[in-house]
Amino acid sequence: DAGITQSPRHKVTETGTPVTLRCHQTENHRYMYWYRQDPGHGLRLIHYSYGVKDTDKGEVSDGYSVSRSKTEDFLLTLESATSSQTSVYFCAISGTLAGRQETQYFGPGTRLLVL
Amino acid sequence: AQKITQTQPGMFVQEKEAVTLDCTYDTSDQSYGLFWYKQPSSGEMIFLIYQGSYDEQNATEGRYSLNFQKARKSANLVISASQLGDSAMYFCAMREATSGTYKYIFGTGTRLKVLA
């Protein structure tokens, strides 16, 4: 299994509070991604990173910021959480694992509920 | 703009039969990759199969094959001999290069239910 962890796995928070989700990899891969998954929308890219301190926006980046100060960690911050940000958040890395095809490998997901 | 379309929100298949999940894509890039992922009810995302835009043969991985028709811009997933454990959500995705970096875009998914 790819060495990708996400923390926390579940979080309940209140509208207007900041929230930070952490993605940690042990694979030393350059690319890391944050997605949100909502019914009927599949996975939508929030932000991604192609190296330390190198990040770019995805299709649903409003209300989110990211940081990557070291290769293994990619943080997603909801600056002021809203109920529309209630979702399942997945982190992914992109690369080749154990000689297999280069693809994305996903973390276990974080369920976020904003009340 | 690059786009992935999965037109089947849900499908049923009888156990041991084959099933085809549809995926069409739109891109102006010459080099791209197409992927299928499985998401069981437990929630994890599992990579199934990959097809490169320059690959001349259709990709196969065990019971999974990818029916790649480049001119039609389709990348359908074929699951042979369906099993109850194949019941899951299936996502088609495309890797695109944007300003020298790689992003993946996903379709909205197809929920497959295998019937005993």
Q: What does the pLDDT look like over A43-71, one tens digit per residue?
A: 999 999 999 999 999 999 999 999 999 99
Distance from the A67 Cα atom to the nearest Cα atom in chain B, whole angstroms: 17
Nearest Cα residue in chain A from B109: A42
Predicted confidence at residue A100, as pLDDT, reads 59
Cβ-Cβ contacts under 8 Å between A and B: the total is: 52
- What are the φ/ψ torsions at residue A84 (nearest 5 degrees)? -70, -10
Nearest to B63 by CA among B96, B102, B34, B21: B21
- A35 burial (CB, 10 Å; 0-12 / 13-18 / 19+) is buried
Can you tell me whether residue B84 is helix, strand or coil?
helix
Indicate yes or no: CB of B35 within 8 angstroms of CB of A90.
Answer: no
Predicted confidence at residue B56, as pLDDT, reads 87
Q: How confident is the model at residue A94 (pLDDT cuts 50, 70, 90)?
A: confident
Indicate whether B114 pLDDT > 90: yes
Identify the residue with better confidence: A96 or B48: B48
Predicted confidence at residue A99, as pLDDT, reads 57
Nearest Cα residue in chain B from A41: B108
Predicted confidence at residue B98, as pLDDT, reads 72
Which of A38, A88, A106, A110 to probe the B interface (max B CBs under 10 A)?
Answer: A106
- Compare CB distances from B107 to A42, A103, A104 and report the shortest one's residue: A42
Indicate whether B20 pLDDT > 80: yes
Residues of chain B contacting residue A88, judged by C-beta atoms under 8 Å apart? 43
pLDDT digits (tens, 9 = 90+) for B70-106: 999 999 999 999 999 999 999 999 998 777 788 899 9
Q: What angle do CA B67, A97, B29 make, to 5 degrees?
A: 45
What is the pLDDT averaged over residues B33-49?
Answer: 94
Q: How confident is the model at residue A13 (pLDDT cuts 50, 70, 90)?
A: very high
